[in-house]
Structure 1
Amino acid sequence: MELDIDHRHAEPAGEVVAGWAGESTVLDAAKASLLAVGVRRTTLTEVARRAGMSRMTLYRRWPDLRSLVGDVMTREWSGIVRGAADRAAHDAGRGDLDSLVGHIVATVDAFRTNPVYLRIIETDPEMLLPYLTERRGATQQMVVDLLTDQLGAAAAHGVVRAADPQALAVMILLVVQSFVLSADALGGAVPERTRTAELRHLLRAYLAPAGGRA
């Protein structure tokens, strides 16, 4: 469910340092601008104005708009993944396959309906292309790590089939990432509710242990 920019910032200087307290303010301002006017019409000048800071302060941490948008995306996607992890931990006592699949599907829905994701898809979808064809981003790695832990624990209790949990996690990521990005474009006349039900069925069938016990 990728969906982040795995860039490398220049070393910050002056008052802008790692863990800078103003970062959240800038990311909030950038998010507001993205939602208001889209990626292509957002500028560092506009973000600085919204954040109440100078352009030079922003330039010391983000060399260009793309790197700033990348951090906005990473914060949004990471928040979704952390929320999924919290829900799964809270529901760990159920320990059944339907619950596990339900958490995956709920996370997919959270990505597909995220306002920042929708705005980027609408105004500059090319930003996502490197993380579909070239490399694994930070949020994608978070998803793989989370699923690997969950699937390993589930397999130990016979809830999912015995297999390399990381391999299962990667395959699930490939499936749900495609669903997030392409379901509307390729779904055709299939209603959204039906597509979601089929995704749930696909995941359950893929993960079910031998003999169907779960």
Structure 2
Amino acid sequence: MTSLRHNTEPRDTYLDAARDCILDVGWRRTTLTEVARRAGVSRMTIYRTWSDMPQLLSDLMTREWGGVVADALADEDPDTSTVERLVGDIVGTVQRLRENELFIRIVDLDPELILPYLFSRRGRSQDAILELTVNALTEAQAAGEVRQGNPVLMARSMLLAAHGFVLSAHTMVDDAVSLDELDGELRLALTRGLLP
């Protein structure tokens, strides 16, 4: 997947520089000083925005994953049913995350960066995805297109299911099962879980 560049604000330029650093040398070898050098600004300019690398990484991941979701939503087919669109958005996001070069680099070199969002707390991107999903479920329930139930619980369950398909699907692929077939099973499971 190509870089999600926004470059309308200086902050985005700094995040782009951080992204490039992480792609080149990994998280552990990326410093605020190197980000400043690549962005063509002073260290103090970067330090005024982020006091440390974890804060910068948090903002970078929020922007990057938000762009992945936006790309998935942009591919919606207006001629499909609400359930098909919602499931398509989730499966599309899963697929795009697995292909995202920053995500791949982090998982390959610095997987511990992902662990807090799996074991300790939700991140801003996860909360944004949940909010979108809850809103879509609530509207679809009101229209009778999705089964009744707590939309917050349903959205969280769907996100938990998607986590495994983002992070571990490759461990289940071999000569007997392809990645496309696994994604088809995710689509089927989500669809059947939503239908009235």
Instruction: Give TM-score, length-normalised by structure 1.
Output: 0.80
Q: State the one-letter code of the partner of 2:187.
A: R
Structure 1 unaligned spans of 5+: 1-20, 210-214
Q: CA RMSD in A?
A: 1.9
SS at match of 2:148: coil
Moved more, 55-64 or 120-129: 55-64
State whether structure 2 residue 52 is matched by structure 1 residue 64.
yes
Instruction: Give secondary structure in 1 for the equivalent of 2:30.
Output: coil
Q: Which residue of 1 aligns with 2:194?
A: 207
Alignment match, 1:52: 40
1:33-182 to 2 correspondences below 5 Å: 33-88=21-76, 91=78, 94-182=80-168
For structure 2, list consecutive stretches of 5 or more residues without a partner in the other structure. 1-8
Residue equivalent to 1:18: none
In 1, the alpha carbon distance for the partners of 2:137 and 2:157 equals 12
Match of 1:166, SS state, is: helix
Larger Rg: 1
Mapped to 1, the partners of 2:85 and 2:131 lie a distance apart of 18
Number of aligned positions between the proteins: 187
Identity of paired residues, percent?
45
Q: Distance in 2 between matches of 1:54 and 1:96?
A: 49
1: distance between equivalents of 2:103 and 2:156?
Answer: 21
Secondary structure of the corresponding residue to residue 168 of structure 2: helix
Residues 1:184 and 1:32: Cα distance change in structure 2 (over 3 Å): same
Partner of 1:16: none
Is 1:194 the equivalent of 2:181? yes
Q: CA separation in 1, counterparts of 2:70 and 2:85?
A: 17
Q: CA deviation at 1:27?
A: 0.5
Q: Deviations over 1:31-78 (max 9, x none)?
A: 111112221222222211110011122122212222212211111011
Determine the C-alpha separation between the residues in 2 that align with 1:193 and 1:87. Answer: 18
After the TM superposition, which of the residue ranges 135-144 and 78-87 deviates more from structure 2? 78-87
